Structures are given as C-alpha cells and as structure tokens.
Chain A
Amino acid sequence: MENPDINITIIDRKGVIHKIEAPTDMAMNLMEVVRSYELAPEGTIGVCGGMAMCASCQCYVLSETELPEMQDDEEAMLSEAFYVKDNSRLGCQIQMTTEMEGLEVELAPES
C-alpha cells in the first residue's frame, strides 16, 4: 500500500524548524497536525476547534504548494485577525492531501 504520509515543514512561533510526517488518511487539517506534534502549546492553537472562528491557527505559507482555495469563512476571519500577511491562511481550513508533499508554513504569532 502506498504510504499515506507526506513530508511537510512547520516553523513554530519560536522560529524552530520541524520537518514532520503528516498523515493524509485521517481527515486531519494542518492545525490538527500542529497539535498532534505539540508544536504550539495547547490552548494557543485551534481554540475554536477548527471552525474558522478564532484565527489562532493562522500561518504563513512559504512554499509554492497549491492549496485549496479560500472559502468565505476563512477570508472573513482573516479580515478581522491580526498579523495578517498576503500569504496568511488558517491551518484548520487546509486538509492534508498527498498533493501537499513539501508544504512549508510558519505559524503566525499568538494574538
């Protein structure tokens, strides 16, 4: 069977680079992958549980990886969040798929 894991890079809020394997067969999103590896303290990421309602999982996409298009919810939340840049996305809205091999993101500061 094909390995359902992909290799991605996450830079945490302290600037530490983590090269990790993310499962693509467990319906996990990027925020959940960060939590499963405990790359940000509990209570500082995924606060709303993944409903695009808190922006605690905001990250900056550094690679050219093609990602699912932003939906209204995510766009609206980012329009009210802080530290937003042009490459900002909400981790909870990015489902892990095999096409995302090589994805590189940096977690936005806590706010």
Chain B
Amino acid sequence: MSHSKLKYVSSFVSNFTFMITTDILIIGAGPTGLFTVFEAGLLKLKCHLIDALPQPGGQCSEIYPKKPIYDIPAYPEILAGDLTDKLLEQCKQFEPGFTLGERAETIEKQEDGSFIVTTNKGTKHQAPVVAIAGGLGSFEPRKPLLENITEFEDNGVEYIIKDPEFYRDKKVVIAGGGDSALDWSIFLSDVASDVTLIHRRNEFRGHLDSVEKVQELKNKGKITLITPAEITAINGNEKVESVEVTKKGEEPIVVKTNHFIPLFGLSPKLGPIANWGLEIEKNAIKVDNSLDYQTNIPGIFAIGDVNTYPGKLKLILCGFHEATLMCQAAYKIINPGKRYVLKYTTVSGIDGFDGTRKEAPKAVVKAID
C-alpha cells in the first residue's frame, strides 16, 4: 500500500463513527447491571454496559465500597466493594463490553426497531434491547453555589481533573475537605506553580497519611492552606483570573489563580434519561412489574433502583430479580418465536463466550466387586 493511500484510509477511519453493537445495552454498571450480564449470558445474549463513572460497581464502588451489606442472600456480610468484584467475576465468561466514564446522553429508535444510544463523548452503541439500570442516575460533580460559576466552566473552573499536566506551571486553587481535594493538592504541588487548598474547616476527612502529607507540604511552603474559609466569588474576564476567599469572621481576600477546582464530591442526577420520553414518577422510571419491567417504550426496560412500580423496594436483591425476568423478555424480542425453557445452572453448567465451561463434576460410575 502506498503511503498516500494509507493516509487516506486512516482519515476515513477517523471520520467514520465506530458503532458498538450488542444484544442488550445496559445503562449503568452497578450491581443490577452487572448481574444482568450473567443472566443474559445464560440465554446466549451479549451485553455492553455504559457508565458515567470510570469504574464498574455504581454506588457500591463510588459511595460506600468499604461499607458492609447484610441483606444479600447467602452473604451474611459482604463489603460493597467486594460485592462488585464478585459480580464481575461471576459475569466474566460472558465477556461484557464497557464504555466507562461516559454518560448515556441520547437514544434514537431505528427503523429496524433497534436503538442507538450516544454518550456525551459521542460514542455510539446499537442494540435491539436497552436495559436502564441507572440507579439514582449518573454521578455529577456537586457545584458550589457561586452565581457566575457556569460562565467559567472549562475556562478555569474544572470539577474533575482529567490530565494533571494541564496544570503544569499554572496557579491552582482547590476547594474541598475530602480525599480527592487532599490527594490532588499533593499531586499538583509537584506540577503546578502554586497550589492553594481551601476548606471550610480545619479538619479534613481523608486518609491519615494524606492529611499528614498535606501538613508536611504546607510546612515546606509547597501548599498554601487557607482554613476555615470559603470561596465567595470568582473573578475574571472570560477566564478565571482570581478567586475571593473569605475566612470565617474576616474580610475577603483575593487570591490570583488560573484555575479553580472545586472538589465537593459527586451526587446522582437522573440526567438526560429523564428526556428520553419515558414515563417518570418520583424521580424514577415507571415500569410494568406484572410482567417484565418494560417501560412505556417497547424494547426499553428499567431495572433496579431506577424503576418504580407499586410496592417497589430499592434493594440490590430486588434488582437481581428484575434483571432476571427482564432477560427472558429480551430473549423473546431478540429471538422472536424461538423456543426456550428455563435451565438450571446446576444441571446445564455454564458455557462462557470465551470458550470456558463450568459444570458439576461427573459422578463416578464404577462397579463394586
């Protein structure tokens, strides 16, 4: 192939939007979404999951990975983070695909009945069945209550640090009192020209060694610590030029900076899913619980904490049940008219898409003399 032709091919590839195709497109990689992969796999259906968080597990890994859960059947006690690991291990042989760190933004029904779901980063996914297992919604950064803050978003205000190099030799002000505020202050103290950390209290809620490290960097003059204080204004012409910092009971001071990074954690919002034409009630998606947890749009299901119906309970174990029934309905949509009966894993074993097989060991048949 000539050099010029190669160049043509590569530009063609970059202009052509790659489409991820699967059988069941799951929105939300929390416990319900992960268990769906397993149940779908038993029916030979492939799954792909989209999640706004950079890791699977949903709330279990984002909010409370170290908290014990006591109401998972057969687990008298299991840490939320361990539950995620177990679910990943259980569905591994069905080779789920993941689009992580991207939020499902739009859905378009196609003429053939399938759906195309596009994320906020433009990744496209196509599937005949969509299962929304979105929990309480996608986790969005909590924004401080400063009236002009939105004007400065991506112009000096960032809620998430994507590439630390972006802050090389820049002045940075970080606000917050948790692990992410501490950890990024430590990390950026070696990258940025100035790091100022502002928190409403003198105490920080973080790992002890992070707190001690910040103390050490403060003593060395590598981090400026202002506590107890709050950012009360952002100043600048299009770009952030300075922030106003107010210490409790004192006059505000102005701190010159190129970037203001508020790190106040994440809170879940139903987000774009609310605009997909689905029937919403009590911040959740209404489904038919007498049958298969389908929404008002045929082919789109809602399972786990994201759905609502009379008597709904937001429990992980209820999500597992809903996922299982939903997969049966998905099978009928994907394989119209094709016969199937429920099989027990104890009897049939599990054939993974990766070629592995799990089965009960065969009983030994041997005569006794």
Q: Which residue numbers of A lie inside 8 Å of B, CB to CB?
A: 41-44, 47-48, 51, 53-54, 56, 72, 75-76, 79-80, 82-83, 111
9 additional A-B pairs beyond A43-B137, A51-B63, A80-B177, beta carbons within 8 Å, are: A41-B282, A47-B136, A47-B267, A53-B63, A53-B64, A72-B205, A76-B178, A79-B199, A80-B176
Considering the chains assembled together, what is the distance between the CA atoms of A53 and B265 in angstroms? 9
Whether A43 contacts B177 by the Cβ 8 Å rule is no
A72–B206 Cα gap in the complex (Å)?
A: 12
Taking CB atoms, residues of chain B closer than 8 Å to A53 are 63-64
In the assembled complex, 20 residue pairs joining A and B whose CB atoms fall closer than 8 Å, in A order, are A43-B137, A43-B270, A43-B283, A47-B268, A48-B64, A51-B63, A53-B64, A56-B267, A75-B203, A76-B177, A76-B178, A79-B199, A79-B200, A79-B201, A80-B177, A80-B178, A80-B205, A82-B142, A82-B145, A111-B145
Q: Which residues of B, 260-307, contact A by the 8 Å Cβ criterion?
A: 264-265, 267-268, 270, 282-284
Chain B, interface SS category: loop
B86 beta carbon closer than 8 Å to chain A: no
Please tell me if B144 contacts chain A, counting CB pairs below 8 Å.
yes
Nearest-neighbor residue (CB-CB) of B200 within chain A: A79
Band of interface residues on B: 20 to 34
By the criterion CB–CB under 8 Å, are A79 and B177 in contact?
Answer: yes
B67 within 8 A of A: yes
Shortest C-beta distance, A17 to chain B (Å), equals 23
A42 and B145 form a contact (CB under 8 A):
no
Give 9 closest A-B pairs by Cβ, nearest first: A43-B283, A76-B205, A42-B282, A79-B201, A79-B200, A82-B145, A80-B264, A79-B177, A80-B177
> Of all chain A residues, which has the CB nearest B206?
A76
Query: In angstroms, how far is the closest chain B Cβ from the Cβ of A26?
Result: 16
Asked if A42 and B205 sit within 8 Å, CB to CB, the answer is no
**Contact among B59, B176, B203, B283 for A42, CB-based, below 8 A:** B283
Q: Evaluate contact between B67 and A51: CB separation under 8 angstroms.
A: yes
Q: Hey, what's the 0/1 contact readout for B178-221 against A, CB within 8 Å counting as 1?
A: 10000000000000000000011101010000000000000000
Residues of B within 8 A of A48 (CB): 59, 63-64
| Residues of chain A within 8 A of B268, CB atoms compared | 47
